[in-house]
Amino acid sequence: MNISSDKILTIQDISCVGQCSLTVALPLISACGIETCILPSAVLSTHTGGFSGYTFRDLTDGILSIADHWEQTGIKFRAVYTGYLGSAKQIAYSADIMDRLLTEDGLRIVDPAMADNGRLYYGFDDEFVKEMAHFCGKADIILPNITEASLMVGEEYKQAGYDESYVLGLLEKLGALGAKTVILTGVTYSDDKLGVAVYDTNSRKLDYYFHDRLKVSSHGTGDVYASVFTGAVMRGRSVYDAAKLAADFTVEAIRQTAGDEGHWYGVKFEKALPMLIKEFDTPA
């Protein structure tokens, strides 16, 4: 059976309501013109940010049997992109899938979605951070925020008021873990600008992209950013251009949502999709 490998796999949870994780990754990467395969790590009725009484079904036990079937069928992927992983076991399974099912030149893209605003998400501990840092060390590209970066390298978390030496220190220590490229999100040196730092750990080249800081924040924007970035890289954009496009798209999605107080649980990325589709309106 001949099966094309011109596809990517994303491994993360499904929050059925909430516009994050797989419900964001699948449409956004697909809109970039890339066949997107999914492996759900868990199913939640809603995401955990602001909702109470949500349901949670852990799918860890089914992950390897799915991977085994793909391997037996000869299915391979040009990239594996991981988002929220709920346990150290899921990290280990994801690493195994990358080892077995990536094409020879396939990309390992890791969003270490485990913390924000100086705090770990509920259910995670120091041991999970250690395992995630090890996993990121095997990746081609990682996309941590400032909180996740500081936790993985054992640095003090600074929400603001830091200088470039602090950011460069985080980037260098993340590179020392083994990751080839680091996209550090949520970087700011002023009250009116927010952006990303793009760091090549081999050449030690550092570039920034900043946009105007919006006065609103939304759930799920990290997933939006990482998904668009992944789609753009897979369509041949440079790492910097992909990081820039992902930032511009995320800002547009937030703008499309601003003013709708009933839409606090995510961003209306659907209204920004024409921007993405236009960007990739030529065949892959």
In this predicted structure, the answer to whether residue 284 has a pLDDT above a threshold of 60 is no
Q: How many CB atoms lie within 10 A of CB 145?
A: 22
**Tell me: the pLDDT tens digits for 4-34?**
778 999 999 999 999 999 999 999 999 999 9
Q: What percent of the chain has pLDDT over 70?
A: 98
Q: What is the mean pLDDT of residues 142-166?
A: 96
Confidence band for 264, pLDDT divided at 50, 70 and 90:
confident
Q: What is the mean pLDDT of residues 252-275?
A: 91
Q: What is the mean pLDDT of residues 251-257?
A: 93
Query: What are phi and psi for residue 249, nearest 5 degrees?
Result: -65, -45
Look at residue 273 in the predicted model and tell me its pLDDT: 95
- pTM of the full predicted structure? 0.95
Confidence band for 51, pLDDT divided at 50, 70 and 90:
confident
**Tell me: the pLDDT tens digits for 228-253?**
999 999 999 999 999 999 999 999 99
Q: What is the mean pLDDT of residues 122-127?
A: 92
In this predicted structure, the answer to whether residue 283 has a pLDDT above a threshold of 80 is no
Which domains are assigned to the chain?
7-262 (3.40.1190.20)
In this predicted structure, the answer to whether residue 146 has a pLDDT above a threshold of 90 is yes
What is the rounded CA–CA span in Å between residue 201 and residue 183? 11
Look at residue 129 in the predicted model and tell me its pLDDT: 98
Look at residue 200 in the predicted model and tell me its pLDDT: 97
Per-residue CA distances from 78 to 4, 64, 102, 124, 219 (Å): 10, 19, 6, 30, 29
CA 229 to chain centre: 8
Confidence band for 260, pLDDT divided at 50, 70 and 90:
confident
Extract the tokens encoding 90.
């899921």
Task: Name which residue leads in pLDDT, 72 or 216.
Answer: 72
Residue 185 in contact with residue 144, Cβ under 8 Å? Answer: yes
What are all long-range contacts of 154-160, with beta carbons under 8 Å and residues at least 24 apart? 157/118, 159/117, 159/118, 160/188
Look at residue 123 in the predicted model and tell me its pLDDT: 87
